[in-house]
Amino acid sequence: MGYYSKGLGFIVHSPCGGVNVAANRTSICPPAGGRTRGWSRHSASSNKFSVAERCSSAATLAVSIMMTLREIVADYIRYCRADAEQEQRWFAIQRTLQEAVSHAALAVSPSGKRLSHQRRIPQSVLAESGRRLFVSLPALSKAKSFEELHETVEALIGQIPGIGELTIYDTALRIGAHLRLEPTVVFLHAGTRVGARRLGLSVSCASIPVSEFPHAFQKLKPREIEDVLCRYKSELGNEGNPPSSRRGCYDRANPEMHRTCAGR
């Protein structure tokens, strides 16, 4: 979501962290989680406001602007891609498929905490998912493509109450990282379906070929497009209109988003 401030210019909040000056796309706030690589304080020094003042001011401004598709993709690459890659590497480096499946099913992050998409799912539900996957390791290991793996995971855990499309996809993506299997199409679930619809794409199927997405998205991997559709769904297909309050892939409101520099 963006705002205009006298002295600051147009400000854009990234869903992944940081606040950018739309005129020159210069970050004036460090990214979320204290990440500062690629961000420099000197870019904001020409203004009389301190970094803290600029960040605080941006949170109280009132006029919204939109990010273009190209800016959305650039914002994702700058602020979100590294974290997504780190998460994939975490599952890829597990010593055995058993360990990878266990961490994938229980949504265990590199820090040992629950990954955000599954935070609201009871532990007992995730444990049952892990049990069913664990006893079917041979079937998982035989998958020759991500699409085949996703189909297998869906068949194994899709009937568990509390397990939905997003968790099926996330679990398959994590196991796929260990098996070196990447999606070749963009899979849809509740959050991404909203984003795809706002781009004018048909959401009648379970997935969308990358070729159907706008040119700006072609530099992204299919799983990254899925991530963008989810994170930025409030900004997509909305040129000239203020976006609604941004929600996460689990469609949970984040009231702090517009009051701090740190996104989610």
Phi, psi of 96 (to 5 degrees): -135, 165
pLDDT tens profile 26-50: 333 444 444 444 444 344 444 444 4
Cα 103 to chain centroid, rounded: 19
SS3 58: helix
- Residue finishing a domain among 143, 158, 179: 179
pTM above 0.85, yes or no: no
Any domain includes 262: no
Phi, psi of 251 (to 5 degrees): 60, 40
* Overall number of domains in the chain: 3
- 60 pLDDT above the threshold of 70: no
pLDDT value for 237 = 77
Q: Residue 55 sits in which domain range?
A: 2-65
Helix or strand run (H / E) with residue 91: helix 81-92
Q: How many CA atoms lie within 13 A of 207 on its CB side?
A: 16
pLDDT tens profile 236-254: 875 544 444 443 443 333 3
Any domain includes 44: yes
Alpha-carbon torsion, ordered 154, 157, 159, 161, to 10 deg: -130
Burial class (CB in 10 A: 0-12, 13-18, 19+), 20: buried
Please give the residue that has the higher pLDDT: either 247 or 224.
Answer: 224
Any domain includes 250: no
Any domain includes 117: yes
Q: Clarify whether residues 43 and 118 are in a common domain.
A: no
Work out whether the CA dihedral 114, 117, 119, 125 comes out positive or negative.
negative
Q: Clarify whether residues 175 and 202 are in a common domain.
A: no
Any domain includes 210: yes
- Per-residue pLDDT band at 16 (split at 50, 70, 90): low
Any domain includes 49: yes
